[in-house]
Amino acid sequence: MQSPFAPAQDLIPEGILLLGAVVCWAAGAVRPTVRLRTLQAISAVTLLAAAVSCLFYLRNLPVGGYTAYSDGLIVDRFALFTIPTLCAFALFTVLAGDAVAERIRPHAGEYHGLVLMATLGGALLVSAREMIAFYVALELLSVSLYVLVGMAKTDPRGSEAGFKYLIFGAASSAVLLYGLALLYGLTGTTVLTEVAQHLGHTTAASALGIALVLVGLSFKLGAVPFHQWVPDVYEGAPAPIAGLIATLSKTAGFAAVARLAVVTFGVSASTWTAVIAALAVASMVYGNVVALAQTRMRRLLAYSSIGQAGFVLMGLLAWRSDQQGVGAALFYLFTYGITLVGAFAAVALVEAAGVGDNIDDYRGLSRRAPAAAAVLALAMVSLVGIPPLVGFFAKLFVFEAAVLAGYAWLLVIAVASTVISAGYYLRVLKVMFVDAPQGEEPTELPPADIPVRVAVVVCALATVALGAAAQPLLALAVGGSGQLIR
């Protein structure tokens, strides 16, 4: 006789995340003055438990994984690599929450619960195998992030950013839904693998549906043309939440695009690769060129993130198993995410000490906050792609995969964009380490709380250490992505 709990075994990580979110909300409702440390501990334990629980699925996991809930979800190595990655980004966001403690204190329970719910939405999104489950997971992720952006109600920039995020998100959802509706009308099924079986050849209607789905999902990646929300949201959101959007949302969005493109749209590769190549070129060129003109740190990181989305999409063009492009893109997202979430934690630390968001406000930061300046410097150098930091290997693997797939012309644009990006990244280093502070003699910033320092230091060390472990980590990513090719 089958255990009544058997169906729940396929959702252990997601169940842990949901339980943690409910506990955080309940703690905040029962005791509005609950200590931030308590909520951080609950969230951290929840995220660690969810990540570790993924390991239990690896034992006796069949090749290609297995489906659950009437083909609505799939448990495979691709999801089991991505979900712990999402949990890691959320964990660093939770630790960095100390830097914005005063802004979120009235709603600390809701804040941590929503961080866990956003992670849950991302986890379900990377496992979705059916259109309805896919859309519900996407909206769970999106709505959680909309609320988190405007969580600090006393900051008008946060409310404006949250509203803009909601409007652009609704527009992208409409485009995505129209594309899914076209595909359902053409195939008569909502199961993504069955859609692939019915798309025997590309027609004008199927090409339109595929293009609309991919363009709608480009919103999550912050890629052109759905990029307009990125600068305002990164500037108005609490710094740790901006880092969460730049990492968790982008990674979950790419995982969804990869699963759809490779598994569902494989027979129409000539259609979606053209769309992806156009998005990659537009994002790389636009993001890096516009970033040169930025005078605010967060907007600079925002346009940099748009450019990084283009580099990630290059990996998807090498989607065949012998090209290893999807694995290279997953490696890129993991290492880029660790670097960027550490950079935003450092920005949160500096802003909490009273430093403004203008890049000129960072003058002489190395003398006022050496640790924060060092972390930002490592992040900038890694994002440029200078060896031996892990950012160099991330770009190297993606570029190599694109060349193997026959996109050497795209490599030329990518290298040119990388050279352009060095201009604004190195400008920040000059401001922090060379320029003298304006006005009076600089004084050291007050020390940060321990959780923020842990997040900053771990991310900085990972940026250096992961470069030495690049090949084993790439092998893990490739092993997970290889199961998509079926």
pLDDT band with cut points at 50, 70 and 90 for residue 303: very high
Q: Which residue has the tokens 């493109």?
A: 261
Least confident residue range of 320-324, 415-419, 460-464: 320-324
For the cut 80, the answer to whether the pLDDT of residue 8 exceeds it is no
Least confident residue range of 57-71, 105-119, 271-285: 57-71
Confidence at residue 36, expressed as pLDDT on a 0 to 100 scale:
78
For the cut 50, the answer to whether the pLDDT of residue 16 exceeds it is yes
Confidence at residue 28, expressed as pLDDT on a 0 to 100 scale:
80
> Averaged over 429-448, what is the pLDDT?
69
- Using only C-alpha atoms, what is the Rg of the chain? 21
> Averaged over 354-375, what is the pLDDT?
84
Q: pTM to 2 decimals?
A: 0.92
**What's the CA gap between 281 and 310, in Å, rounded?**
6
For the cut 60, the answer to whether the pLDDT of residue 166 exceeds it is yes
Taking only the tens place, the pLDDT of each residue in 27-39 is: 888 776 667 788 8
For the cut 90, the answer to whether the pLDDT of residue 193 exceeds it is no
Taking only the tens place, the pLDDT of each residue in 231-270 is: 999 988 888 899 999 999 999 999 998 888 888 777 677 7
